[in-house]
Chains A and B, each alone.
Chain A
Amino acid sequence: MGDLKRLGLHDLHVELGGRMVPFAGYEMPVQYPMGVMKEHLHTRAAAGLFDVSHMGQVILTPKTDMAALVAGFEALMPVDVAGVAEGRQRYGLFTNEDGGILDDLMFANRGDHLFVVVNAACKEADIAHMQARLSQVATVTPVTDRALLALQGPQAETALARMVPGVAMMKFMDVGILDSDFGALWISRSGYTGEDGFEISVPDATAGNLARALLDMAEVAPIGLGARDSLRLEAGLCLYGHDIDTMTTPVEAGLTWAIQKARKPGGAREGGFPGAGRILAELAGGATRQRLGLRPEGRAPMREGTVIFDAPDGGNRIGVVTSGGFGPSAEAPVAMAYLPAGTSGTVWGEVRGKRHAATIAPMPFHPTSYKR
C-alpha cells in the first residue's frame, strides 16, 4: 500500500484477520472476520478493543507557568480550559478566524502539563498550529513512542480492572497515569462510541502484550474502523472532515455544549478565540443552518452526499447528508445533515434518483451510557 504508514500493532491486526485499508495515511483494519455488524453489536453488549494509534498524542509543557500555558491554549478555542481540574479531560475545538473548525480534540490537565489527543488526518497541521501559536508559553512535544488503544462497552471496566484495578474508581472524562505490568498507562474514561469505556496510551514496547492480554478475555473482541464509524454515528458524534470542517462553525455543528459559560457572551472570559466575532454572534442569535439528525423511512441508508429536499417532488434543495449509514443498534438507517435552522418534521433525501422520506430526529440515535 505505497507510502502508507503502518501501526505498531500491524502484525497483530493481520494475525487477527483484519482487512487492512488506507485511512488518514495509515494502513488500518476496517473489519475483522466477525464483520462490521457483529463488531458493532459486540461493543454495545460486551467490550470492543480499537487500535487508534494513528491519532496524534501531544504533550504541552509550560515554558514559564501553567497559567500562561492554559491562557495560551484557551486563546486557540472557545472552550473553558482554565476550568478543567487536574485529572480531568475535556472536548475541545481549534477554530479559525472565520469561526470554522480546524480540528476537534481531547485535552487533559495532568497537573504540570496538558496532554492533547488530535485527529490523525490533522495532526501535523495541529502540531504546527500549536507550535506557532503557543511558542511563548509552551513546548509542544509529539508523543511518538506510545500506542493508543480504546476499550469500549459495558464490560470494558470489568476487563480492564483485572489488570489495572484503579480504573474502576474513574468517572467519565477522568484521566490518570496508572502503573501496570505493561508500564505506566495514560488512561482516560472516554471514547467515541457512546458507551462507557477507556482510552489507553501505552508504551509501544508493551502495547502488543496489553492488546493480547485484553483480547484473551472472553468479553473483548477486536473492532475495526467500520464499526467505529457506525458506533460514533449512532452516538451522534461528529467525524472531522465530514460532519465538521473549516466551513462549519461550532454553533452550526450543534457543539454549543462544548462552549462553556466562561467563554460565552457575558462570561468571565468571553471571546478571545479565533472566529469569536462570528461564533459569539451565532451563540446570541443562532446560526442559519444546523447539523440535525435524520431517520430515513424504510431500510435504505442515506449516505454522505445525499441531497435533502423540502418536498417529495420539486421543492427546494435544503441540505446535504454529512454522515449516514445503517445503525446496527438502531436497526434502521440513521444520518446527519446540515439543514436550515429550525427544520422539523419530514424531509426527503434523493437516493439513486428517487426521493425517500426521512424524519428529523434527536441525537444520539442510540442512548449513551457514560459513567458519570
Chain B
Amino acid sequence: MKYTEEHEWLRVDGDLVVVGITAHAAEQLGDVVFVELPEPETQAAQGDEVCVIESVKAASDILAPLDGEIVEVNEKLLKSPGLVNEDPLGTWFFKMKIDDMSVLDDFMDEDAYNEMIG
C-alpha cells in the first residue's frame, strides 16, 4: 500500500489503483455523515477535487492522486458514510485506471507516512 501527503491510501488491484483515506485522516475528520462521489468514467487530473467528505465538523475534499480515469465509485458510501470511520483502510472511495503504474513508486510507503504524521 502507498500513501499520499493528502492522507490517501493507494492500493493496486490488477490494472486499477484503489483509493481511500487513512485512519489518521478519518480520525481527524470525525464522524463522516455524507460523501459526494464523482461520476464513473470521469477523467481526472492529479490534484482535482473529486470527492467531498462531510463530517459532523466540516467539509473536506479528496484529491485525485494521479492523472487517469475514474472507472468505479463505492456507492455503499452514499448510504453508509460511517464506514469511513469504522474501517478506513477497508473502505475505498474510487478506482482509477492509470497509464503507467510505475508512478506509484513516488508515493510514501507505510513507514514514511507514519513518520510524516508523527
Residue numbers of A with Cβ under 8 A of B are: 30-31, 35-38, 40, 226, 230, 298-301, 303, 325-326, 328, 333, 352
Contacts and interface: CB of A to CB of B under 8 A. Distances in A.
Contacts of B85: 35
A37 B52 contact: no
A266 B54 CA distance: 49
B30 A299 contact: no
A301 B54 contact: yes
The 6 closest A-B pairs by CB, nearest first: A37-B31, A326-B33, A299-B34, A36-B56, A300-B34, A35-B31
B59 interface: yes
Report whether over half of chain A's contact residues are helix, strand or loop; otherwise say mixed: mixed
Interface in B51-81: 52, 54, 56-59, 81
A300 B30 contact: no
24 contacts: A30-B57, A35-B31, A35-B85, A36-B30, A36-B31, A36-B57, A37-B30, A37-B31, A37-B33, A37-B56, A226-B57, A299-B33, A300-B36, A300-B52, A300-B54, A301-B33, A301-B54, A303-B58, A303-B59, A325-B56, A326-B56, A333-B33, A333-B34, A352-B59
B98 to A, nearest CB: 26
Given A35-B30, A37-B31, A226-B30, A352 B52 contact: yes
Contacts of A333: 33-34
Nearest to A40: B56
Contact of B34 (A30, A226, A326): A326
A299 B81 contact: yes
Contact of A230 (B36, B54, B56): B56
A69 B92 CA distance: 64
A369 to B, nearest CB: 22
A40 B56 CA distance: 11
Nearest to A33: B27
A133 to B, nearest CB: 39
Contacts of A30: 57
A15 B77 CA distance: 34
Contacts of B54: 299-301, 326
Given A37-B30, A300-B34, 10 more contacts: A226-B30, A299-B81, A301-B33, A301-B59, A303-B59, A325-B56, A326-B56, A328-B31, A328-B56, A352-B36
Contacts of A300: 34, 36, 52, 54
A283 to B, nearest CB: 37
* Most A-side CB within 10 Å, residue of B59, B81, B85: B59
B64 to A, nearest CB: 16
Contacts of A230: 56
Contact of B30 (A31, A298, A303): A31
Nearest to B58: A303
Interface string B82-107: 00010000000000000000000000
A40 B59 CA distance: 19
B14 to A, nearest CB: 32
B93 to A, nearest CB: 16
A300 B31 CA distance: 14
Nearest to A38: B31
Nearest to A227: B56
A298 to B, nearest CB: 8
Nearest to B49: A352
B17 to A, nearest CB: 25
A230 B30 CA distance: 14
B81 A226 contact: no
A299 to B, nearest CB: 4
A230 B33 CA distance: 13
Nearest to B34: A299
Contacts of A352: 36, 52, 59
A151 B63 CA distance: 42
A37 B31 CA distance: 6
A38 B31 CA distance: 9
Interface in B16-31: 30-31
A326 B33 CA distance: 7
Contacts of B36: 300, 352
A299 B59 CA distance: 12
Nearest to B52: A352
Contacts of A37: 30-31, 33, 56
Nearest to A35: B31
A38 B85 CA distance: 12
A39 to B, nearest CB: 10
